[in-house]
Amino acid sequence: MSVRESRVLAIIGQGYVGLPLAMAAIDAGWKVIGIDNFEAKVSQINSGISPVEDISDSQLQAALASGAYRASSDFSSVAKASVITICVPTPLDENREPDLSLLQNAATAIAPFVSNETLIVNESTSYPGTLRDIIIPTVDSLKPKDSINVYFASAPERVNPGDPVWNQKNTPRLVGAIDAASQDKAFAFYESICDFAISVSSPEVAEAAKLLENTFRLVNIALINEFTQLCASSGINVHEVIDAASSKPYGFMPFRPGVGVGGHCIPIDPLYLTWWASKKGNKADFISAADAVNQRMPRYVAKRALALVDSSRINPRVLILGVAYKPGVGDVRETPVAELRDYLLAQGAEVAWHDPLVSIWNDSEPVDLEWKCDVAILATKQPGMNVKALAERGIQILDCTNSLKNVAGVTAL
Ligand SMILES: NC(=O)c1ccc[n+]([C@@H]2O[C@H](COP(=O)([O-])OP(=O)(O)OC[C@H]3O[C@@H](n4cnc5c(N)ncnc54)[C@H](O)[C@@H]3O)[C@@H](O)[C@H]2O)c1
Residues 6+ apart with CB under 8 A from 397: 321, 375, 376, 377, 378, 387, 390, 391, 404, 407, 409, 410, 411
One pLDDT digit (tens) per residue for the chain, 413 residues: 455 667 999 999 999 999 999 999 999 999 999 999 999 999 999 999 999 988 999 999 999 999 999 999 999 999 999 999 999 999 999 998 999 999 999 999 999 999 999 999 999 999 999 999 999 999 999 999 888 899 999 999 998 888 889 998 999 999 999 999 999 999 999 999 999 999 999 999 999 999 999 999 999 999 999 999 999 999 999 999 999 999 999 999 999 999 999 988 899 999 999 999 999 999 999 999 999 999 999 999 999 999 999 888 889 999 999 999 999 889 999 999 999 999 999 999 999 999 999 999 989 999 999 999 999 999 999 998 988 888 889 999 999 999 988 888 899 99
pLDDT score, position 22: 97
User: Is the beta carbon of 108 within 6 A of some atom in ligand 1?
Assistant: no
Q: What is the pLDDT of residue 31?
A: 97
CA distance 24 to 30: 9
Count how many Cα atoms sit within 13 Å of the Cα of residue 12 in the half-sphere of its side chain.
29
Strand order in the sheet with 317-321: 350-354, 317-321, 375-378, 396-399, 410-412
pLDDT of residue 312: 87
User: Which of the listed residues 19, 37, 88 should we mutate to test ligand 1's pocket, taking the one with most ligand atoms within 8 A of CB?
Assistant: 88
Is the CB–ligand 1 distance for residue 166 below 6 Å? no
Q: Is 18 in the pocket of ligand 1 (CB under 6 A)?
A: yes
With the most atoms of ligand 1 within 8 angstroms of its CB, the residue from 36, 39, 135 to mutate is 36
Give me the pLDDT at residue 4, please: 64
Cα 289 to ligand 1 centre (Å): 27
**pLDDT at position 161, please?**
82
Ligand 1 centroid to residue 124 C-alpha, Å: 7
d(CA 27, CA 345): 48
Q: Whose CA is nearest to atom 15 of ligand 1?
A: 16
Q: Could you give the 3-state DSSP secondary structure of residue 6?
A: coil
Ligand 1 centroid from CA 269, angstroms: 13
Whether 298 and 311 have beta carbons less than 8 Å apart is answered as no
Stretch (H or E) spanning 354: strand 350-354
- Determine how β-strand 83-86 pairs with β-strand 173-177: unpaired
How much is the pLDDT for 2? 54
**Torsional sign, CA 333, 334, 335, 340:** positive
Q: Is 145 exposed, middle or buried (0-12, 13-18, 19+ CB in 10 A)?
A: exposed
Mutate to test the pocket of ligand 1, among 12, 17, 166 (most ligand atoms within 8 A of CB): 17
pLDDT at res. 10: 98
Sign of CA dihedral 364, 366, 367, 369: positive
Residue whose CA lies nearest to ligand 1 atom number 40: 89
How many angstroms is it from 41 CA to the middle of ligand 1? 13
The answer, yes or no, to whether any atom of ligand 1 lies below 6 A from the CB of 36, is yes
CA distance 225 to 242: 12
From 78, 157, 159, the mutation candidate for ligand 1 (largest count of ligand atoms within 8 A of CB) is: 157
CA of 89 to the centre of ligand 1 (A): 4
Q: In angstroms, what is the span from residue 314 Cα to ligand 1's centroid?
A: 43
Closest CA to 210 of 127, 119, 306, 333: 127
Rounded to the nearest angstrom, the gap between the alpha carbon of residue 39 and the centroid of all alpha carbons in its chain is 22
- By annotation, the residues acting in catalysis are 265
Distance CA 396, CA 384 (A): 20
DSSP 307: T
Query: Contact 41/11 with Cβ under 8 angstroms?
Result: no
Ligand 1 centre from 265 Cα, in Å? Answer: 11
Contacts of 334 (CB under 8 A, 6+ apart): 261, 262, 263, 264, 267, 268, 325
CB contact at 8 A, 373 and 317: yes
Do 292 and 333 form a contact (C-beta atoms < 8 A)? no
Amino acid at site 92: L
- The number of residues making up the chain comes to 413
52 Cα nearest atom in ligand 1: 20
Q: Is 14 in the pocket of ligand 1 (CB under 6 A)?
A: yes
